[in-house]
Structure 1
């Protein structure tokens, strides 16, 4: 594939797992707070589909209010983890635009938008949800693991409408102490009020904390096979 990554800052050092055969789709997957793309590139490699490319960018390092302003990889600032906590609206919108530039880059390089899935874990899942709902490109699907919908009070008005029929997979550990499964359920209900309810899947996993497990990753693989089949 041709294309200059230098014009898309998040792509310059993103971890990319290339397709094993002719590339006909892409998965852009965003890590959680304080993490990098490396671990998720490894996890996705374990369930990879040979016709897909996986792109795992690293978030910029910024001070995070929730962690006493410590500088760490974060997609946007976090003030709290409850549904009513104040939110970094400007930071969320700016981060969403930076993910949209990756989508644009893939489209320009020959992957149609409807063959792109956005996904992420925790804060990365939150950003992928917000980006998909506000994106002007019709995407294949969105995956949110252990996450929430940022700026949820601005929806459905903030939704672009282009992705009203998008397929959504939400997975959440029932023992998550950071982002309780109740918030995941609330997010799922909100998404059903914005999108086609039949396209929104919510799966919860007993005993799973703020992480993932093999069963959840197999659900991700099944979802990708469904929304990005080999062509």
Structure 2
């Protein structure tokens, strides 16, 4: 299973993203929401299919699809991507404007859900690879304290701009998971990200789990940990 992330600013611009998003509805009154962002070249549908096995009855799951854009890392091929990628090392140049625009798009979805009755502290962001990176950046720069972040096989974008970019979300719960055999985004990058996050968020709020034998993908064991994290921080009311 391969997965990475996008969105749009302003009230109306985020609605097409929401309209086209794959969703998994709760089986009872929805009192919480998880917005989960796929990886590079993927769509939200694969993650929607995966999450049906791990869903909670009171939680609404939203899986937006990234726009198709040229990606420098892949020889300018046009594919679903939340922002452009120039490289996958900590010192690679970054698409700052694209990252900020994508984060604004996700924040617009948060605002939309909040207007429809789910408060921001009952909304969690999550994502895989590029999607996980965007979910981390968005949550840390969001004016609201969110319910948490699930960051799978990813990194913190624009890390040099923190902590000045951070909105002071010291108590943001973060679950970071990484495969120990990941050759695309090595687990060392995940560990560096976890250390960096400890300077932005109360270290007690950060859980970093690694999975032996797991490459740049997810596993049943990892998804069970995700479900437990969501259940803990978005409990039934």
Normalising by structure 2, we get a TM-score of 0.94
Runs of 5+ consecutive residues of structure 1 not aligned to the other structure = none
After the TM superposition, which parts of structure 1 deviate over 6 Å for at least 4 consecutive aligned residues?
Answer: none
Instruction: Map 1:180-199; keep pairs closer than 5 Å.
Output: 180-199=186-205
Q: How far, CA to CA, are the matches of 2:160 and 2:116 in structure 1? A: 35
Once residues 148 and 23 of structure 1 are traced to their aligned partners in structure 2, the CA distance between those partners, rounded to angstroms, is 30
Cα deviation for residue 5 of structure 1 reads 7.7
Provide the rounded CA distance (Å) in 2 between the counterparts of 1:5 and 1:19: 25
Work out the CA distance in 2 between the residues paired with 1:7 and 1:93: 14
Aligned residues: 227
Mapped to 2, the partners of 1:197 and 1:179 lie a distance apart of 23
Aligned to 2:8: none
1:218 corresponds, among 219, 224, 235, to 224
**Distance in 2 between residues matched to 1:121 and 1:147, nearest whole Å:** 7
Whole-Å separation in 2 of the counterparts to 1:96 and 1:32: 15
Considering Cα pairs closer than 8 Å and 6+ residues apart, tell me whether 1 or 2 has the greater RCO: 2
Q: What value does the CA root-mean-square deviation take over the aligned residues?
A: 1.1
* Residue of structure 1 aligned with 2:16, choices 9, 30, 44: 9
Deviation at 1:67, TM superposition (A): 0.2
The aligned counterpart of 2:150 is 143
| Unaligned ranges ≥5, structure 2 | 1-10
Q: Which residue of 1 aligns with 2:92?
A: 85
Residue of structure 2 equivalent to 1:30: 37
Offset at 1:9?
2.6
